[in-house]
Structure 1
Amino acid sequence: MIDIELLEELVVFEEYGTLSATAEHLMITAPSVTRAMKKLEDQLGVKLFDREVNRIYLNKTGKLVAEKAKLVLQAEKDLQKTATNFDKMQQYINIGAVSPGPAIYLDNSQDQYKQELTFCPNLIKDEDIISDLKNYQARLIFTTDEILDDKEIESMFIGTEQLAVKVDKNSPLANKKSVTYKDLSGLSFVVARNIGIWKDIIEENIPNAKFLYQQDLNALDMLTQIQTFPVFRTNLTEYSKYHEPDADRIIIPIEDENNSIELFGTYLVDQRPILQPFLKDVAQNWPTGF
């Protein structure tokens, strides 16, 4: 059986090219590297190096083995990561989402569910949904589309997320029961930076608007306390723990095309016995208004 540590040393040697540089990078002695490379040759039963006085260098076989070793080492890392993620997944439901609303809502309402919930720190990209589920990065991902083209994955419709705007009580919009995107034309908004699909929706639908994006949610909430810029909320994010109660602002639903998105709970089919009952509870409790 080939020693993984020997493959690691071979890859380092392929990168640095000399025994001394390899030893310095690995923080060992050059003779230790020499012995390790000889041991690897013995384990493989082939010569990996051409040798000269005070120097060795990879031959064609050695270069091939070094490239293959990189793949083996990456596969070993992937296996370790997958095993760790799977083991952790048995203890709780780790939730990811392509937009922030579902995670914010569930984080605020954890006491309604018997399952222990944890949340991915970053939004999931559409192109990573399938791989993140299969690598157990997330046990459940809230998506804006139903996954239909993979037999190992299924989706369950949960509800919609509707967009609203929160304005200062002295704003000309404050007396409206609802607004359109056109009503918001030319305004400046304070907006969380990582809002997934909502970023494209507001930028494409509100004419001549300016969006002041903020990375830190606490800083964003502080800005809303000291400035009168309107902010966006949804039926899922309105009661976020990041938002302080604000009696000086009024929330107004946006009634227009592209003012809502459908959300699906997406998961591996073999997780159905655990996740379907949970998702049915989520759908039953899903907020439908403001």
Structure 2
Amino acid sequence: MLNSKLLTCFLAVVTHRTLTAAADHLCITQPALSKSLRRLEDELGVPLFQRTSAGMVLTAYGSTLAHRARLIQLEAQRAHDEILLMKDGGVGTLTVGAGPLWSVHLLPDVIAELSRTHASLRVRVVPGVLSTLLPQLLRGEVDVLCAALDFPDHDDIEKEYLIDSSHVFLAHASHPLASKSQVSVADLSRCKFVGPHNDYAVLDRMKQFFALRGLDSPGFAAEADSLELVLSLVATGEFIATQSHQVLAHARQLGIDTLATDEGIWTFRGGLARLKRPVPLPVVDLFRHSLLRHLHAAS
């Protein structure tokens, strides 16, 4: 089994890139740090770094270890924090990564239920899109994702399909296209779109959608970090958006509805994604069971 102190030394070098800076951070001498690295490399039987004029550069073996070692540190810190919380009568913490549709569909009710039934549970919701949430999941910074599942399979990620979702075009009643009985793709291509910041998946889908019809995608004229702000910008009548049909009930409260188009840009499978573990986190199981109950009640 790998020594945790050796992993701490290893990660310090990964972070600081030089032995001198890493040794200063750890408050040990450089020779002592070098000795720890050699011991770790000897235990594994592979080189972890290349020593260059620019600093310590990870080898392929080192990159693999760095990923796992960070997760080990995060899990150790999480275990420490949860044990302290349990000593005080708590049941743990849960960090949920939430794609746009989930922020207004099912997730609020699930979190409210968990708060009622497990008053000491601490829940943090991290809004985002796949391009921002997946790296956080892989780094162990979120426990579970509620998101689209049409990303490439990953050895470390377990997916659970729950819903189908179709993107629709949304506009406020004051937008010029809202009164049209039929909105063409050419009409859409001349509009200003607003969407979530860094939502490259939707931008790619838009590009394909318009390209197949011989048109350039308008892209996003504005980006926002939350679905609420996206919809608020649509509600000004200046922008339109493409969003999952599950957000419609919420959008209609702002005077927003679907445009009369023949098709949307995207249909996808949504659900849960989490890191594969020998034993699932109890708080994630609590969350999953509550989500499934609300999903079945809504169907």
Structure 1 distance, partners of 2:200, 2:207, is: 12
CA contact 1:168–1:230 (8 Å) conserved in 2: no
Pairwise mapping of residues 222-241 of structure 1 onto structure 2 (< 5 A)? Answer: 223-238=233-248
Aligned in 2, Cα 1:235/1:253: closer, same or farther, shift over 3 Å?
A: farther
Deviation at 1:256, TM superposition (A): 1.5
Pairwise mapping of residues 183-202 of structure 1 onto structure 2 (< 5 A)? Answer: 183-195=187-199, 197-202=201-206
Deviation at 1:191, TM superposition (A): 2.8
TM-score, L = length of structure 1: 0.58
Q: Deviations over 1:44-102 (max 9, x none)?
A: 89xxxxxxxxxxxxxxxxx7xx889x9588765442213334677862443235x4222
Q: Deviations over 1:90-144 (max 9, x none)?
A: 62443235x4222443454346633665323443449948x93694732344332
Match of 2:31 in 1: 37
Match of 2:209 in 1: 205
Pairwise mapping of residues 57-68 of structure 1 onto structure 2 (< 5 A)? Answer: none
Match of 1:83 in 2: 76
State whether structure 2 residue 259 is matched by structure 1 residue 252.
Answer: yes
CA contact 1:165–1:251 (8 Å) conserved in 2: yes
Match of 1:142 in 2: 147
CA contact 2:197–2:224 (8 Å) conserved in 1: yes
Aligned in 2, Cα 1:226/1:87: closer, same or farther, shift over 3 Å?
A: same
CA contact 1:221–1:244 (8 Å) conserved in 2: no
Match of 2:118 in 1: none
Structure 1 distance, partners of 2:133, 2:243, is: 26
* Greater helix proportion: 2
How big is the alpha-carbon RMSD for the aligned residues of Structure 1 and Structure 2?
A: 5.4
CA contact 2:110–2:294 (8 Å) conserved in 1: no
Q: How many residues in Structure 1 have an aligned counterpart in Structure 2?
A: 255
Match of 1:52 in 2: none
CA contact 1:162–1:235 (8 Å) conserved in 2: yes
TM-score, L = length of structure 2: 0.57
Match of 2:102 in 1: 102
Q: Taking every aligned residue pair, what percent have the same amino acid on both sides?
A: 12
Deviation at 1:190, TM superposition (A): 2.8
Unmatched 5+ stretches in structure 1: 46-62
CA contact 1:166–1:251 (8 Å) conserved in 2: yes
CA contact 2:166–2:264 (8 Å) conserved in 1: no
